Amino acid sequence: MIDIVGALMDNIISVLLITLGGVLISWSVHFVPVGGAPAAMAQATGIGTGTVQLAAGAGLTGLITAATMMGVTDSILLVLASGAIGAMIMISVTMLVGQWSYVYGVGCVPSSAKVKYDPITKDRQDLYVSQGTEGHDLPTVSYVSGIIGGGLGGIGGAMVYYYLMIIENSLPATELVGIASIFAVGIFFVNAVIPSYNIGGTIEGFHDPKFKKFPKAVISSLAATFFCAIMGVIAIGGL
């Protein structure tokens, strides 16, 4: 049997910062313009797939870039920055290519039905929303919001990974990387699904009225991630 209390006390900082990483992931999902199935038919603003797929795509890219950076340096700032940049590039590319297919393929104008004017460009929105739809594509504000979300998610994922990796243990490097990354992926998915239940599957970005609901998801993620973090720290710290 392993020394549970000892492993926990030695790594209490890791538990707290892994929890913070989970909360950041949960918050980040609220920024990403997720349109779900309606957006896939260009009948709602956002990218045409579910929260979890988007968060996983961007977040896992962030994890990979963070892990690569961790191979060459121990500096937490560089690891977090690398994670953020990786996730931001991934979500930007996803949104850009989605935008091309909506504009040149479907042939509709990027517009939001939630606001009358784009908060960033001040462009009129409601005139361009097709009848019977809730907007389509990604207006500038959604695009910017998505990049912010990718960045926050990448920082959160990288933080979870970093603080799992620095836990004292006697594992060889390859096995530690394996177990830390799969724990980070597990925590990432839990924290991607909780906010997606909070927003009911779709959101346009930080200008969407649903964005104001984020404290609920953050509180839920805080509790769930704290529990997962304790388990992760005991499992890795005891080896």
Partner 1 sequence: MSAGGSGEAAGGMSHNTIIGLGLLGALIGIYAAHFLGSYASFLGGIGAIASILWGAESVRRVSSYGLGTGVPSIGMIALGMGVVAATFGLAVGGVAGPVIAVIFAALIGLLVGLLANTVLKMGIPIMVQSMAEISIAGTLTIIGLSVAMVGSFTFADVLTGVIATGYIAVIFIAGGLAILHPFNGNLGPDEKQDRTLTTAVEKGAITMIIAGIVAAVNAGASGALTIIIGVAIWYIAFSRFYKLVKRDSFSVVGTGLLPNEEELA
Instruction: Check if the beta carbon of residue 120 is closer than 8 Å to that of residue 141.
Output: yes
Give the separation between CA 224 and CA 239, rounded to whole angstroms. 23
Give the separation between CA 237 and CA 239, rounded to whole angstroms. 6
Does 217 bind partner 1 (CB under 8 A)? Our answer is: yes
**111 or 198, CB closer to partner 1?**
198
Phi first, then psi, for residue 27 (nearest 5°) are -65, -40
**108 or 177, CB closer to partner 1?**
177
Pick the closest to residue 150 from 73, 51, 48 (CA basis). Answer: 51
Q: Which stretch binds partner 1 (CB under 8 A): 14-22, 61-69, 109-117, 190-198?
A: 190-198
User: Which amino acid is it at 185?
Assistant: V
**59 or 139, CB closer to partner 1?**
59
Q: Is 106 exposed, middle or buried (0-12, 13-18, 19+ CB in 10 A)?
A: exposed
Site for partner 1 in 46-85 (CB under 8 A): 50-53, 56
Give the separation between CA 161 and CA 6, rounded to whole angstroms. 21
Does 196 bind partner 1 (CB under 8 A)? Our answer is: yes
Site for partner 1 in 120-179 (CB under 8 A): 171, 174-175, 177-179
Pick the closest to residue 195 from 47, 24, 36 (CA basis). Answer: 24
Least Cβ distance, residue 146 to partner 1 (angstroms): 18
Does 187 bind partner 1 (CB under 8 A)? Our answer is: yes
Does 182 bind partner 1 (CB under 8 A)? Our answer is: yes
The 8-class DSSP code of residue 124 comes to B
Does 6 bind partner 1 (CB under 8 A)? Our answer is: no
**81 or 187, CB closer to partner 1?**
187
Does 1 bind partner 1 (CB under 8 A)? Our answer is: yes
* Residues that contact partner 1, how many (by CB under 8 A): 47
Q: Is 205 left (phi over 0), alpha (psi -120 to 50) or beta?
A: left
Does 8 bind partner 1 (CB under 8 A)? Our answer is: no
Give the separation between CA 170 and CA 236, rounded to whole angstroms. 9
Which residues are at the interface with partner 1 (CB under 8 A)? 1-2, 4, 36-37, 50-53, 56, 171, 174-175, 177-179, 182-183, 185-190, 192-194, 196-198, 200-201, 216-217, 219-220, 223-224, 227-228, 231-232, 234-236, 238-239
